[in-house]
Amino acid sequence: MGLLRRVLNAMLAILLVAASPAAAERIVAVGDLHGDHEALLDIAAAAGVSDEQGRWTGGQTVLVQLGDFADRGPDSLKIIRYLQGLEVAAPTGGGKVVILVGNHEAMNVTGDLRYVHPGEYAAFATRNSAKFRDRVFDENRKAVLAQYRQTDAGMSLEHARRRFVEETPLGMLEHRKVWKPSGDIGRWISARPAIVRIGDTLFAHGGISAEFAARSIEEINAEISA
């Protein structure tokens, strides 16, 4: 992302600083980072909640990340590790970090990868990724070949292997392993709320429809998690 985008994001963070009348916390709300780790660093610094090393500097501030930190950009993993660190660090200073589930986090957990940036897969690649990909193909070659033959009945095994390699960039299988519901990131996302109330303010990604507004926060969060 360009410098102008980062400056605008930092300005937005400052504008979103608010006080909760019921709880007297300072609240900083940030949404839609979409893989832009540098923007997160700029926003955190501008809002005074963290330094570039991930040390909490916000005191009793409540930082709310409104979802959609994944997809479209290359550094979702960096954002995740940064936010996870702040989740642990903030309470030691009297603050709190609240991370909400956005539609793009839900998409990744459920296997909808339409907006995953190639850099997100590359972040999970290791020197063993090519061998891992070959092993996955060999262990599942009959199923992969059968799937490909649904649209190309005459496809050979070697053609299927080449297509599988083309469609499976290095790091993609590792990405799926940790993002699936039973994976480390998948479990972490599933444990985060979709809606949270702080004082008299509700926070959610993308708003709340009339249908959902008639239900309790606890019921909605349980359904999203499930």
Catalytic annotation, pick one of 104, 117, 159, 205:
104
- Asked if 27 and 41 count as a contact pair (C-beta separation under 8 A), the reply is no
> Cα–Cα distance between 196 and 4 in angstroms, integer?
31
> Cα–Cα distance between 117 and 94 in angstroms, integer?
36
104 is a catalytic site residue: yes
- Asked if 100 and 204 count as a contact pair (C-beta separation under 8 A), the reply is yes
> Cα–Cα distance between 116 and 104 in angstroms, integer?
9
End-to-end CA distance of the chain: give it in Å, rounded: 34
- Asked if 99 and 65 count as a contact pair (C-beta separation under 8 A), the reply is yes
Closest CA to 9 of 34, 19, 18: 34
Please report which residue ranges of 16-156 form alpha helices under DSSP H.
37-47, 76-89, 103-109, 118-122, 129-139, 141-148
- What's CA 80's distance to the chain center, in Å? 6
Residue 65 forms beta bridges with which residues?
30, 99
- Asked if 97 and 83 count as a contact pair (C-beta separation under 8 A), the reply is yes
Catalytic residues: 104
